[in-house]
Structures are given as structure tokens and as C-alpha cells.
Amino acid sequence: MKIWKSAYIILVILSCSCSVFPQNDLRRIRFEFESSTGYLNSDLGVVIPAQFDSGTDFVDGIAVVKDEKGYHVINEKGEIVFRTEADYVEKPNNGMILFKMDGVYGFYDYTGKVKLEGYLHAKSFSEDYAIVRTTQKAYYINKHGEDVFPDLVISGGGNFSNGYAVFWVKTNEGIQKGLINNSGEIILPPKFTILGEFSDGLCEASFNDKVGYIDLSGRFVIPPKYNYGFAFNQGIAAVQYRTFERKQPFYPFWRLINKSGDIVKDLSEDVVVFSDFIENYAIIGVFDNTREKMLYGYLKKNGETLINPIFDDADVFHDGYAVIEYKGRDALLDKFGTIIYLRDILNPHVTSR
């Protein structure tokens, strides 16, 4: 399923051989048509034709695309900013681009210059830091490659979000997770088996196999009684509260709760939640027994459906649109529930049926 993780967009102005100046009127909307990726402008006009095998959303005025020649970074006009022979490249983030080449990780700047390299593993930069691993240790670096928390002994860590990052250590009891702030101070000691990102002042956490929500003191504001929980967004989170096996597939039961743990709405027993609320909508799914496949739709934070599960595939919303597939046809969905067929945009004289 095409679920792309959304990133915080920090506008920067860079000087390079190929102009990369993000402007509001140069917004680009990714679309997929017949297994190829292209980009539209805010008026849904084709700016960059569907010519790539894959592509990321635009961040800071650039995107990473892939074709038969490999990975490239392009600007909003579709011009190539730089090419790379890397085996894998992630989307731009926080002024840097993570790549992997010959089994080794590194970082380009937005002009294609290799700024850092030589890591056994790494994650993208977020809030000016990235977690990397060498043969000696795992640690957080800044954009100069410096170990920013030299006294912090960890086995691994996640990205910073809202000033905090989850880290973990290996113990005799297994992986234990804790929380640090952006000064490297341990806010929560490593004692959790599950620890999510803080959002709305809470994060999902667990000591065993049940999930609840804690505050920054480590106190469970919502007791650990759920099988799974997504992050809070403007006071609402989706949680899986029990399971029931009815032949096959496996039917979970989901509900929406507020930050006091009160039930906002119990969802229908056949509905599965697949994402956080991103741009106010979460992806949901219902298994179609006749077709023996999952169909997807979108849920609003108040528990109402933007559109019931009818799509063959679905992406989270980005800049007001979601990439979907409906009855084998490539389309976009806007926040009013309107399905915009890509064939109508690319071939305006041909009407979709």
C-alpha cells in the first residue's frame, strides 16, 4: 500500500548550479498514472509528465525520482538538479538527502555534494539531527557529522519530532525504549517496550503487549489497555481495542478517543485504520470477501467518513490531495471527496467511464 510518510517542510534558499527556489505558486502535486509518476501544479495542470518509475513528494522545492537510469533530484520545472549512482535515495529532509551506495550510507546536500558518508546505517535528518551507526556505536550527529551527545550510550534511535526522539538500548530483557530531548538529556529512562512519537503532548507507550498513552513525566494518562494506537492529532487518536477472529481475515475493532481517554466514536467492526490523521484524514480499510482484497477509504477526525472504503489503493493526503486507485483507474482525491481521474487531466478530450 502506498503510504508515504509525511515530513515537516522547512523552507530554505539554496544557491546551486540549478535553481532550487521554493515558491508558493510552484506547488507540485505528485500523481501516478499507468505505473509512472509525474507532477501537477496547483491548478491540476501537468507540469512534469508521468515519466518516472517512482518519485517522492516535493520538499523544499525538490523531489527525488527514479527511472531506468537510476535516481535523480529534480526541481519544480522537472529540471535535473543532480544525478546519483546511489542504490537508494530518500526524499529531501531538513536540508539533506540520505543515500545508500554499495552498502554504505551517507548524505547529500541539496546541490548533490556528498557532505557525510561511511555509515553502516543512518536515518534522514530531522530537526537538525540524524541517527547513524558505525561499527563502534550508534549516535546522533549534526550536519557537520559531529557526535552531538557523546555521553549518550544507546543501541539505536528514532528521528526527532517536536524536540524529542525515542532511543533504545539492548538489555537481557530485550529492547527497552526511552526518550531524549534535543539537548541529549534523558527525559524518560529506557523502560518501555513500545514508545511512539510525542504529539499533542502524549505518545503511545507499553511495558508489555498493551498500549496506552503517557505524558512527558512517563505517567499513563490513558491506561495501557489497547492492542495498538496511532498518534494523537488535534486531540483525537485511533486505537484498536479488541480483536475477534471470524474465519479469515482477522477483524480488529477500532475506536476514536480523546486525550482524556473518552470514546469519541466506535467504528464499525469490519473497519481497519491504516494511518495517523494526516491533514485531518486517516486511511481506513474494509476487507471485501467477494473480491478477497482490502478496499480503502478515508475517515475524518470526528468519526465521519470522507469517503467509504471503495478504492483499490490509497495514499495519505499531501497538500490537499491523495493518490488513489479506483476500479483499476489512477486518480486523485481532494478533501471534498471528489475523485479526479488522471486520464481526464492527461487526455481532456477522452471521458472516463
**Whole-number pLDDT of residue 22:** 40
> What is the C-alpha separation between 237 and 169, in angstroms, rounded?
28
**Whole-number pLDDT of residue 17:** 35
In the sheet that holds 121-122, the strands lie side by side as: 121-122, 130-133, 138-141
> What is the C-alpha separation between 95 and 73, in angstroms, rounded?
13
Judging by beta carbons within 10 Å of its beta carbon (0-12, 13-18, 19+), is residue 141 exposed, middle or buried? Answer: buried
SS3 25: helix
SS3 105: strand
**Whole-number pLDDT of residue 24:** 43
pLDDT in 10s for each residue of the chain, 353 residues: 544 333 322 223 233 333 343 444 578 999 999 999 999 999 999 999 999 999 999 999 999 999 999 999 999 999 999 999 999 999 999 999 999 999 999 999 999 999 999 999 999 999 999 999 999 999 999 999 999 999 999 999 999 999 999 999 998 888 999 999 999 999 999 999 999 999 999 999 999 889 999 999 999 999 999 999 999 999 999 999 875 555 445 557 999 999 999 999 999 988 999 999 999 999 999 999 888 899 999 999 989 999 999 999 999 999 999 999 999 999 999 999 999 999 988 875 444 33
Evaluate the omega torsion of the peptide bond into residue 309 and state whether it is cis, within 30 degrees of 0.
no
> What is the C-alpha separation between 346 and 342, in angstroms, rounded?
6
